[in-house]
Every structure is written in C-alpha cells, then in structure tokens.
C-alpha cells in the first residue's frame, strides 16, 4: 500500500490531486482509495458531540485498519453481529468492549462470545432468545450475573432510505413480558431499536423514543441503557440530510424526558456515518455504448448497493481534458458476464467520457468495501492511501466537481 500526498506549489495546474496522480499510472484494475483522515474526523465528531456512547457497527466496514483508526480516535465500543466479527475485533483490538447486537444468535456463538471474548452485552427480541442467552452464559447451571440485556423494539422505518424494520423487533403486545423477564436475568437492562439505514430526518428518533417511553411505562421496569441504534446518514446525490447535530439534539432531548434510571446510559451504533467517507474507488471505462459505460467494478464488487437497491454515489471523471462539455446522465455495467451487474444510476459525468477514461466513485467506505466478492474472477486488489478530501462530507466543506484534471 502506497501513500499519495497532494503536491504543493503547483498554482498553475491542479495536477497535484493524488487521485489524478494514481490515474496517470493507468491501472488496469480498480483501485481502492483510502482516506484515514476522514474516518478519524468522523470518529472524533461522534465521540465529542454525541451525548452518550458511540458503538461502531462493524458490519459497515470490518477492515482491521479502519478498526484501529476508530480506536485511536476514541471509539472503544463495537457493535458486532456474528462470532466472526467478534473474533476479528477481539484479535485486532483486544481491549475493545464488544456488544453482540444481533437479535437472533446461535447458542454456540453466545457461549463463545461470553466465555472466550468477554462479551457481556446482548440484544434480543423474544423470550426464546432470552432463554438461549441465559442458558449459553450459565456455569454449571448457575445463570450469569453480569449480563447487559437489551430488548429490541420494532419501530417505524418510514424516514429511512433503506428499511430495517421487518426482520427484527419485539411486537408491542410482547414487550411488557419480555422487558420484565429480561430485567430478572440482567445486571443492566436496556432497550434498543433501529430506525433504518440512512435516516433522512431526526424525527425518526423522536418517534422511536416515544415507543421506548410507552414500553417503559407499561412494563414499569427500571431501564439502565437506551440504545438508539444506527441509521445516522451520510450524504449522497439526491440524499442530502440535515446536519448530524440536529439528530443529536433530538435524541438528547427525548432521552432526558424518559422515565429511566438516574444513571442510565445513552448509546448509539453508527456504521455508515463513521466510514462512508473513508474510501472511494477508481475505475476504468472499458467500453461506451450510448449512455452506458462498462467499468471494471460493479454489483459483485463495491457497487452492490448501486445495483440492487439503486443507491447513487458521487462520481467524477479523472481526465486530462477538463470540463469542456456539459454533463449528462449515465448508467454503468460491471465487468462480469451477468446482466444483473448493472448500476442504473443516473451518474452524472461529462458527455464526452469514453473508453480508457478513469472515474472516481465516492462514499464507498460503508458497505461497498465490505460486500465485495471475487465472482467471475474480478476484484480490486490495489489499495492506495490518499490525503485529499472525500467527494462529499458531513464533517466539513468539500468542493465537488465532476472532473478532476490529470
């Protein structure tokens, strides 16, 4: 892995852009561009401004290098969803606090997490899962006395671009009994929820906190932890959310109004918001057919979401020509033999983009890097560290153009 810096003292031309410098080497395969400074900035933002504790949602990007960046920036707790993630984070960050927040877990995974990796925090949404956790963490038939158990509520996902409300979450009729039972089995009792991925309005959290309040009042239990989950957005074309501080303000005010323990903790689980700006991808156009561009990464690489749920990412042409023609909308085909390897977009680029040109696709640090496969023998193997600004940001000002000059 190389590190590319901006060249200084080149006032006459913007050649010093590190992405342009990499494109000049004419790479034949996609190049992953990492921006550690962007991940550090996002982590410090949450650590310093969120009015509680931030748990990084590892599923968004499990890169050990990223995990270390977040740890060094003050993120000490990690939301893990599988025994594989637990093993990875425990090996990478032995002192990190791991929270097993998948509501449906294998009993063997619970046992290994508790006894081998020191995991004390588990989420659940049914009595069956509660019984499983109690069994798997017992010693010689004696239940554990140091568990943090968080009951996950099902909440409205209408404010999110990607709903996560159908699969998990206790139904209203079951919440009272579940909270009461979890209170008996836990050292600290919590309530958690997930408003969906890329929540576009702070109102989503206010509405969910209303559900939390109703659940606490109905069950008449003492709650020690309220975890508002993930859903914190990043910025993409056509998806420009309010400032994150607006989300934090709503969460703080509604948390303060809850009838909870005086020492209760407030948690959140940012994933996308911490790592989206960390990575982008440099791809080459292998063919143009009208307004369709055949590029060397796609649905089975970093662009899974662009293909399967129509997610739009910022794009820019990396070219010697500069912006001489007006932009137009394009769709992309990936490199595999599969017709499903198509990203409809639209992706706006200069109308003269053609075979052999390079395109940077931004905001792929979240889920893009994590969901790659090697299907059909394609994949991105080269990684470069760059120190320019990401193509879009919620943590500072970024001047976006759809052309970077070589």
DSSP helix/strand/coil, 122: strand
Q: CB-based contacts of 390: which residues, under 8 Å, 6+ apart? A: 35, 38, 277, 278, 280, 362, 363, 398
Q: Are residues 94 and 199 in the same domain?
A: yes
Residue with tokens 């007006």: 326
DSSP label at residue 95: T
DSSP one-letter string for 255-314? HHTS---TT-EEEE--SHHHHGGGEEEEEEEEEEETTEEEES--TTTTTHHHHHS-----
Q: Are residues 201 and 294 in the same domain?
A: no
Measured in degrees and rounded to the nearest 5, phi and psi for residue 192 equal -135, 165
Contact 169, 125 (CB under 8 A): yes
Last residue of a domain, which of 269, 296, 317?
269
The reported pTM is 0.92
Q: Are residues 246 and 296 in the same domain?
A: no
Q: Say what the pLDDT of residue 401 is.
A: 65
Q: Are residues 293 and 255 in the same domain?
A: no
Last residue of a domain, which of 217, 249, 269?
269
Q: Are residues 126 and 149 in the same domain?
A: yes
Q: Are residues 196 and 345 in the same domain?
A: no
The tens-digit pLDDT sequence of the chain (406 residues) is: 656 654 332 222 244 689 999 999 999 999 999 999 999 999 999 999 999 999 999 999 999 999 999 999 999 999 999 999 999 999 999 999 999 999 999 999 999 999 999 999 999 999 999 999 999 999 999 999 999 999 999 887 777 677 767 788 898 899 999 999 999 999 999 999 999 889 999 999 999 999 999 999 999 999 999 999 999 999 999 999 999 999 999 999 999 999 998 899 999 999 999 999 999 999 999 999 999 999 999 999 999 999 998 999 999 999 877 667 899 999 999 999 998 999 999 999 999 999 999 999 999 999 998 888 888 888 777 999 999 999 999 998 655 667 665 5
Q: Say what the pLDDT of residue 168 is.
A: 80
Q: Say what the pLDDT of residue 15 is.
A: 47
Q: Are residues 320 and 303 in the same domain?
A: yes
Q: Are residues 296 and 180 in the same domain?
A: no
CATH classification of the domain holding 137? 3.20.20.10
Q: Say what the pLDDT of residue 145 is.
A: 96
Q: Are residues 215 and 333 in the same domain?
A: no
Q: Say what the pLDDT of residue 372 is.
A: 87
Number of separate domains in the chain: 2
Q: Are residues 238 and 369 in the same domain?
A: no
Last residue of a domain, which of 253, 269, 285?
269
Q: Cα dihedral sign for 257, 261, 263, 268?
A: negative
Per the domain annotation, does 43 fall within a domain?
Answer: no
Q: Are residues 69 and 211 in the same domain?
A: yes
Q: Give the pair of three-digit tokens for residue 68.
A: 């270390």
Per the domain annotation, does 45 fall within a domain?
Answer: no
Q: Say what the pLDDT of residue 13 is.
A: 27
Q: Are residues 245 and 284 in the same domain?
A: no
Q: Say what the pLDDT of residue 6 is.
A: 46
Segment holding 217, helix H or strand E: helix 203-219
Query: What residues make up the domain containing 291?
Result: 2-35+277-405
Angle at 99 between CA 249 and CA 138, to 5 degrees: 140
């Amino acid at each position: 892995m190389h590190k590319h810096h901006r060249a200084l003292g080149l006032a006459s031309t913007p050649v010093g852009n590190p992405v342009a410098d990499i494109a000049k080497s004419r790479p034949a395969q996609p190049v992953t561009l990492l921006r550690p400074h962007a991940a550090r900035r996002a982590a410090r933002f949450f650590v310093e401004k969120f009015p509680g504790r931030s748990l990084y949602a590892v599923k968004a990007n499990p890169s050990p290098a990223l995990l270390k960046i977040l740890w060094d920036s003050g993120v000490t707790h990690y939301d893990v969803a599988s025994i594989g993630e637990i093993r990875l984070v425990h090996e990478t960050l032995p002192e990190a606090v791991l929270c097993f927040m998948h509501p449906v877990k294998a009993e063997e995974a619970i046992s290994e997490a508790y006894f081998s990796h020191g995991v004390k925090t588990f989420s659940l949404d049914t009595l069956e899962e509660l019984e499983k956790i109690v069994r798997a963490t017992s010693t010689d038939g004696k239940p554990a006395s140091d568990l943090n158990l968080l009951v996950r509520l099902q909440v409205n996902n209408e404010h999110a671009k990607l709903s996560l409300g159908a699969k998990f979450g206790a139904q209203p009729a079951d919440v009272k009994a579940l909270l009461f039972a979890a209170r008996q089995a836990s050292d600290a009792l919590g309530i958690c929820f997930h408003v969906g991925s890329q929540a576009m309005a702070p109102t989503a959290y206010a509405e969910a906190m209303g559900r939390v309040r109703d659940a606490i009042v109905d069950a008449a239990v003492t709650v020690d932890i309220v975890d508002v989950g993930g859903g914190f957005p990043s910025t993409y074309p056509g998806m420009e959310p309010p400032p994150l501080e607006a989300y934090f303000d709503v969460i703080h005010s509604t948390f303060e109004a809850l009838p909870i323990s005086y020492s209760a903790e407030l948690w959140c689980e940012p994933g996308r918001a911490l790592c989206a700006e960390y990575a982008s991808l440099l791809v080459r156009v292998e063919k143009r057919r009208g307004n369709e561009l055949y590029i060397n990464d796609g649905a089975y690489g970093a662009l899974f979401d662009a293909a399967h749920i129509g997610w739009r990412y910022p794009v820019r042409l990396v070219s010697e020509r500069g912006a001489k023609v007006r932009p137009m909308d394009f769709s992309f085909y990936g490199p595999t033999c599969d017709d499903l390897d198509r990203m409809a977009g639209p992706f706006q680029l200069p109308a003269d983009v053609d075979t052999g040109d390079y395109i940077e696709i931004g905001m792929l640090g979240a889920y893009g890097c994590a969901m790659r496969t090697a299907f059909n023998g394609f994949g991105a193997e080269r990684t470069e560290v760059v120190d320019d600004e990401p193509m879009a940001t919620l943590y500072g000002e970024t001047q976006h153009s759809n052309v970077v000059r070589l």
